[in-house]
Amino acid sequence: MALSASAHDQAELLAVQALDTKLLQLAHKRATISQINEVQDLEVTLGSLDMRIVAATTEASDLELAVRKAESDVEQVTLRALKDQQRLDSGAVSSSKELESLQHEIVSLAARQAELEEVELEIMERLEETRVVVSQLKIEQEAALQSMTTATALRDEQMAEIDAEVMEIKAERETLAAPLASELLELYNKIRADFGGVGAALLQRGACQGCRIAMDMTELDRIRTLSAETVVRCDGCRRILVRTAESGL
């Protein structure tokens, strides 16, 4: 048995549908705010920067330890060479063999010191380069944080505006829908859920405005015979067809 509802209630469905369509548009607008993707990209960027800063800071810390060790190694060799030189200069060593051994050791220590100082210099250069990297990464991090703050504020501002508009439209929709026949509204909501948010459409000049398909004359003749209270549905898209003076019946 076909559902019946007053012509007024059926016509009001179009107003309800218009509000539901507006809500869908606002939901799409909210989901596609450009700052949403911008904030997400910045979160990825900041996450990457955090990891790179930790890695570079750790490397700098390790190099600082390496520098101290290199300095200690140089100091030990320098002290050893100094003691050998002082011993040589003191004249306490009289044996030619021992003198030769001591002189050879001083030469070897000098060569070793030069090697260690070169290693120390290389480590210090790497440390300085790493500190520059850490400094640059922190500058990039600060810039990204500032961009994040700006993008987040813009995103939240736009969301708040949209949410306020959504609340107004929902309140208006509730007011419009409350007096409508419950069975009609239930059918409308079910169809709307099944067909992309559109549950009712105007029958205009013999065509359903839901699927934009013109109805054949046989179907239009059948609809003409129905009472204004009979709820009509489109044969093509199954949406509720609302008949008005524009329907061409």
What is the C-alpha to C-alpha distance for residues 108 and 114, in angstroms, rounded to an integer?
A: 10
| pLDDT of res. 113 | 93
Whether pLDDT at 96 is above 90: no
- Average pLDDT score over residue span 35-46: 96
pLDDT above 90: residue 92? no
Does position 166 have pLDDT exceeding 90, yes or no? Answer: yes
Domain boundaries, the chain: 7-28+181-247, 34-159
Lowest mean pLDDT among 65-69, 81-85, 138-142: 81-85
Q: How confident is the model at residue 103 (pLDDT cuts 50, 70, 90)?
A: confident
Of the candidate CATH numbers 1.10.300.10, 3.40.50.1110, 1.10.10.10, 1.10.287.1490, the domain formed by 7-28+181-247 belongs to 1.10.287.1490
Do the domains 34-159 and 7-28+181-247 match in fold?
A: yes
Contacts of 178 (CB under 8 A, 6+ apart): none
* Average pLDDT of the residues of the chain: 93
Of the two residues 29 and 87, the one the predictor is more confident about is 29
- Alpha-carbon distance of 138 to 48, in angstroms, equals 12
DSSP-derived 3-state class of residue 165: helix
What per-residue confidence (pLDDT) applies to 1? 60
User: Which of 16-30, 122-136, 226-240 is predicted least confidently?
Assistant: 226-240
Q: Which has more pLDDT, 36 or 100?
A: 36
| 148 in Cβ contact with 43 (< 8 Å) | yes
Provide the greatest CA pair distance for the chain: 136
**Domain spanning 34-159: CATH 1.10.3720.10:** no
| Predicted pLDDT at 162 | 98
